[in-house]
Amino acid sequence: MEIKEDSLKHIRHQGLGDLITYENTANGISGRSTNGYFQATVYTPNIIRIQISQNEFFDTLSYAVICTSQETEFEVSENTEYISLKSKFLQLEIIKKSSRFSFFNDKGQMLNEDCPGLGVSFMGDSKSVYKTMQKGERFIGLGEKTGNLDRKGTGYTNWNTDHFAYSAGADPLYCTIPFYIGLHNQLVYGIFLDNTYQSDFNFGASNDRFSSFTVRGGDLNYYFIHGSSVAEIIISYTHLTGRMQMPPLWGLGYQQCRYSYYPDHEVYKVAQTFREKRIPADAVVLDIHYMDNYKIFSWDSDQFPDPGKMIKDLKDQGFNVVVMCDPGIKIEKSYPAYEEGVAQDLFLKYPDGTYYSGQVWPGWCHFPDFTKPDTRNWWGNKLKDYVQLGVKGYWNDMNEIATWGQKLPELIEFDFEGEGGSTKRGRNVYGLMMCKSTFEGAKRHLDDERPFNLTRAAYSGVQRYAAVWTGDNVSTDEHMLLGVRIVNSLGLSGVAYAGYDIGGFAGEPSIALFARWISIGAFSPFFRGHSMVNSRDSEPWSFGEEVEDISRNYINLRYQLLPYLYSVFYEASISGIPVVRSLAIDYSFDDEIYHLSYQNQYLFGPNILVAPVESYKEMTRVYLPEGHWYNFHSEELHSGQSHVYVDAPLTHLPLFVKAGSVIPMQSVVQSTQEAPEPLLHLHVYGGGDSEFLYYEDDGSSYQYQDGLSYRRSIIFNHQEGTLILTEVEGSWPSKFAKSRFAFMVLLVLILSGYRGKNTSYIEEELVFLPAISNFDPLGKEVVEKKVTVATITIENSDQEITVEF
């Protein structure tokens, strides 16, 4: 029997085929091969975009990419074997035989190539690119994914999924960020596959030949990014997909959540307890029970008779309120959101024009089509009532879309700015577009005040609108470390502002686990405790007095570190370099950092190394990368590229500070609404050089975008023995009238002969984490860890300040 060629297409691989013809375009070339069309565009000197389609017309709409291709210099040349497209830093060769794409850097070193014999592959609706696996190649990134830092040997699927109590190896989860960084032979590159259909990545799972990516619809549309370091790749990726704007300062404080605090006096009690116990906190989060029958934009008037008053009272105590926002709109006559949605035609539909109904908390619901501009506007405007009550924080949940049954029909229609698309195209961006709508809506009504916005589901670019948390994790040590890894991975993938439920959402943590988790969480960009309905109390004071003390210590430390942390957030907002940095960013080719025992270690900002440890370990081995490192709790100095054994009691999470760094800190405050003492503490860890961009602004408005900020570099030069604070840029007056410099560690200073030049030092002992109370009279003696330092205090000034020693 003869089989028609056409039907063969669907049952086996078909390559792109040999190149037939090509022509120059404004920023690159476009061509035709036997089985498809392609376009290569020089997007920036560091980025070449590849589009491959079986049709003559390419997909155009992107919700992720916010910039168009720059006009930049490039050359096109050709010989019998290949066409070359060359920009300043990157060269693409398209081999004519079978249309294979290879990328080289400006030194002619091969970064990445389509795998000979496989290359581009079409199969039915799926399209894939197979890349040769390079010797020693590693893969990092891909956003919210379980697994190891180095993703080699693993495959992943992107299909936004509500996964309650996911296992530590589960995939997919809630977010789709189809961006990864490849590393081999001291070379790095990035690939961002901008396609919202289901996609699959294979980093050498079940094969020893290739890495690959596949889309289940739409074009192959990827950005190939060159850079000389992982950091440069992240900068380019966030140039394409955007960066976060500064969140409100209070968003960096501790947030207390639970499913759910109600009625209102329960909320008051939680807030009050923080104040009574002098544990700093900035927000209480209201989960679904604040609503009337889970109807968004409504309040349960029995449980919350006067939300405006409650929110104001809380504000007076230094608390902001964050409210849950679920997308499902209850189908109920005279419920305004439902009536308006129907009247204005704002919901997702079946192809026959009837509204799709799915079941979720409120019962049967319709779902706003956030890919439709009218819907986004409407939703944003609906937030006005919250804003008027004083709500400053929004929590976008269930936006995968989650429904009972978890099977959103495939044929639902999405507007896509009028272009149209089905669930297949729309599912992975629903969360992103809901966040856009919530963020922009809240911003509109908040009158120049920054909202806090949080989401569970996401697609690339979500950093422009919301922080991401890792959903329904579980109260285990394994999950605690997994959360750290996921947040680090989100950081590698453009999402600088992320966190996990401290204590675990599902299940109940042991006393030790909660203590450890909150101390690690103090070094997470987004810092929130949360737990499941019908589980034990999980506030910092709910696990006994010892854990209460430990929690207070670490939350205090977090608040003391705010000047440092806020500056680091600012850096993320202008460059995309994340707040928490997997060691793969600065130490990319140090094999040891990928070791399973050390892969969870990360830098909190540029200078503080955090080594997360399971709750049951009293001691651990830490790998210190290149450089010199101080144990944060003592004055001990270690040489890098070495392993050290350190004590890891629950009171002392292993923390190290890079020699040469300067860490700006402040006094403890109970919330960010309280002004710290007007004294900025600069802790100078001698023994290396550093430059740190110090940043302040009003912490709440967008005027920083017009220069109302305070920026200066803090430059430490070890050889010359100088510390320079450069002249202030910007028009915001600092909170700190004085600066106090504490030089760590006196011993090192004396050895280096610094002491001779400056005699105004006062010797002091510093304690970062006070000893917890000795509750058990028979227990071990509790020792406080002290650091001896030399301090001087000087008047702050906007002019350049030089301190010599």
Q: Which residues are catalytic?
A: 397, 400, 472
When the beta carbons of 289 and 372 are compared against ligand MIG, the nearer one is: 289
Cα 74 to its chain centre, rounded Å, is: 34
- What the block records as the tokens of 676 is 């710290």
Nearer to ligand MIG, 259 or 741 (CB): 259
CB of 469 to ligand MIG, least distance (A): 8
Residue 435 binding ligand MIG, by CB under 6 A: no
472 binds ligand MIG (CB under 6 A): yes
Tell me: does residue 456 bind ligand MIG (CB under 6 A). yes
Least distance from ligand MIG to the Cβ atom of residue 643, Å: 38
Site for ligand MIG contains 294 (CB under 6 A): no
The residue (of 180 and 290) whose beta carbon lies closer to ligand MIG is: 290
Question: Which lies closer to ligand MIG via its Cβ, residue 190 or residue 362?
Answer: 362
Q: How far is the CB of 170 from ligand MIG (least distance, A)?
A: 14
Does residue 144 touch ligand MIG according to CB under 6 A?
no
Report the residue number, 164 or 616, with the smaller CB distance to ligand MIG. 164
Nearest-CA neighbor of 597 among 623, 628, 564? 623
Rank residues 49 and 456 by Cβ distance to ligand MIG and give the closer one: 456
| Token digits of residue 124 | 């039915």
In whole angstroms, the minimum distance from the beta carbon of 258 to ligand MIG comes to 8
Binding-residue pattern over the window 504 to 523 for ligand MIG, x denoting contact by CB under 6 A: -x------------------
- Whichever of 259 and 394 has its CB closer to ligand MIG, that residue is 259
Residues forming beta bridges with residue 695, ordered by sequence position: 711
Task: Lay out the site mask for ligand MIG across 81-120 (x = CB under 6 A, - = otherwise).
Answer: ----------------------------------------
Q: Which amino acid is at 385?
A: D
Q: Which of 200, 219, 232, 287 binds ligand MIG (CB under 6 A)?
A: 287
Strand ranges across the sheet with 738-744: 662-665, 679-685, 738-744, 787-795, 762-766
State the minimum distance, in angstroms, from the CB of residue 395 to ligand MIG: 8
CA distance 101 to 187: 18
Please, is 441 exposed, middle or buried when counting C-beta atoms within 10 Å of its C-beta (0-12, 13-18, 19+)?
Answer: buried
**Whose Cβ is closer to ligand MIG: residue 398's or residue 562's?**
398
Binding footprint of ligand MIG, residue count (CB under 6 A): 11
* Alpha carbon distance 754, 697 (integer Å): 34
Beta carbon of residue 232, minimum distance to ligand MIG (angstroms, whole number): 35
Q: Which backbone phi and psi does 651 adopt, to 5 degrees?
A: -75, -20
Q: Tell me the pairing of strands 452-455 and 393-396.
A: parallel
- Strands (E) in 617-771, as ranges, are 619-624, 628-631, 637-639, 642-647, 655-658, 662-665, 679-685, 690-697, 709-717, 722-725, 738-744, 762-766
Q: Minimum distance between the CB of residue 436 and ligand MIG, rounded to whole angstroms?
A: 20
Angstrom distance (rounded) from CA 414 to CA 41:
29
Reduce the DSSP state of residue 329 to 3 states and report it. Answer: strand
Q: Which one among 197, 259, 299, 805 touches ligand MIG, defined by CB under 6 A?
A: 259
Contact 572, 497 (CB under 8 A): yes
Q: How many C-beta neighbours within 10 Å does residue 156 have?
A: 22
User: Which is nearer to ligand MIG, 324 or 487 (by Cβ)?
Assistant: 324
Q: How far apart are CA 240 and CA 223, in angstroms?
A: 9
Q: Which residues contact 604 (CB under 8 A, 6 or more apart)?
A: 523, 565, 568, 579, 580, 581, 610
By CB under 6 A, the residues from 380 to 409 that bind ligand MIG are 397-398
Residue 704 — φ and ψ, nearest 5°? -60, -25
Annotate each residue in 217-256 with x if it binds ligand MIG (CB under 6 A) or - if it does not, as one string: ----------------------------------------
Helix, strand, or coil here: 688? coil
| Residue 324 binds ligand MIG, judged by CB under 6 A | yes
If binding is defined by CB under 6 A, does position 300 make contact with ligand MIG?
Answer: no
Smallest CA-to-CA distance from 94 within 757, 727, 85, 762 is with 85
Query: What's the CA angle centered on 144, arms 143 and 149, to 5 degrees?
Result: 70
> What's the min distance (Å) between Cβ of 615 and ligand MIG?
22
Using CB positions, name the residue nearest to ligand MIG.
Answer: 259
- By CB under 6 A, tell whether 288 contacts ligand MIG: yes
Q: How far is the CB of 285 from ligand MIG (least distance, A)?
A: 9
Q: How far is the CB of 539 from ligand MIG (least distance, A)?
A: 15
**Sequential DSSP letters for 1-68:** -PPPHHHHTTTS-EE---EEEEEEETTEEEEEETTEEEEEEEEETTEEEEEEESSSS-----SS---P
Nearer to ligand MIG, 398 or 665 (CB): 398
Q: Are 129 and 120 in contact (CB under 8 A)?
A: yes
User: Contact letters (x/-) for ligand MIG, 345-384, by CB under 6 A?
Assistant: ----------------------------------------
Query: Contacts with ligand MIG in 478-507 (CB under 6 A)?
Result: 505
Query: Following DSSP, what letter does each residue of 368-409 receive, concatenated?
Result: B-TTSHHHHHHHHHHTHHHHHHT--EEEE-STTT--TTS---
Output the smallest distance, CB 530 to ligand MIG, in A: 6
Q: Which is nearer to ligand MIG, 16 or 435 (CB)?
A: 435
Does 328 bind ligand MIG (CB under 6 A)? Our answer is: no
**Is 299 in a helix, a strand, or coil?**
coil
Site for ligand MIG, residues 659 to 688, rule: CB under 6 A: none
Residues that bind ligand MIG (CB under 6 A): 259, 287-288, 324, 397-398, 456, 471-472, 505, 530
